């Protein structure tokens, strides 16, 4: 029997993979949830069976609005959702030079060597 994903579990894993685990976060929960909405829609579009959770399917996907919300896809698709969200975040950083600089400043805090 498949179980549903919980939003917070996906957000936590995304934050690990993009090295955004220390507050203040670079990517807000709301932004990550937005990408999760897109991922959920794409997964269900390509794999309608993803909605079969405990023998129940949903006619329409609900927007992801809270971190405690259960998603309407099976845990089998957790990694696909995480990869989708991470790729969108990385893509957003690489499309805009200013955003890429901000990304480097945030994630790559290399200590300066004394000369």
DSSP string, 78-89: HHHHHHHHHHHH
In whole angstroms, give the CA distance from residue 90 to residue 84.
10
Q: Does pTM surpass 0.85? A: no
In percent, the amount of the chain with pLDDT more than 90 equals: 35
Nearest one of 65, 46, 58 to 4, comparing CA atoms: 58
Enclosing H/E stretch for 97: helix 97-107
User: What is the CB neighbour count within 10 angstroms for residue 12?
Assistant: 14
What is the mean predicted confidence (pLDDT) over 102-109?
60
pLDDT of residue 114: 45
pLDDT tens for 27-46 read 999 999 999 999 999 998 89
Question: Higher pLDDT residue, 104 or 46?
Answer: 46
Q: Where are the domains positioned within the chain?
A: 4-107
């Amino acid at each position: 029997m498949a179980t549903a994903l919980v939003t917070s579990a996906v957000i936590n894993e995304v934050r690990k993979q993009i090295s955004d685990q220390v507050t203040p976060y670079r990517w807000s929960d709301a932004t990550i949830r937005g990408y999760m909405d897109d991922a959920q829609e794409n997964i269900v579009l390509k794999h309608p069976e993803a909605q079969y959770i405990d023998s129940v399917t949903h006619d329409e996907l609900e927007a992801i609005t809270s971190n405690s919300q259960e998603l309407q896809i099976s845990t089998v698709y957790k990694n696909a959702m995480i990869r989708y969200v991470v790729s969108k975040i990385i893509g957003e950083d690489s499309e805009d030079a200013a955003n890429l600089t901000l990304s480097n400043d945030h994630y790559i805090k290399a200590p300066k060597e004394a000369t």
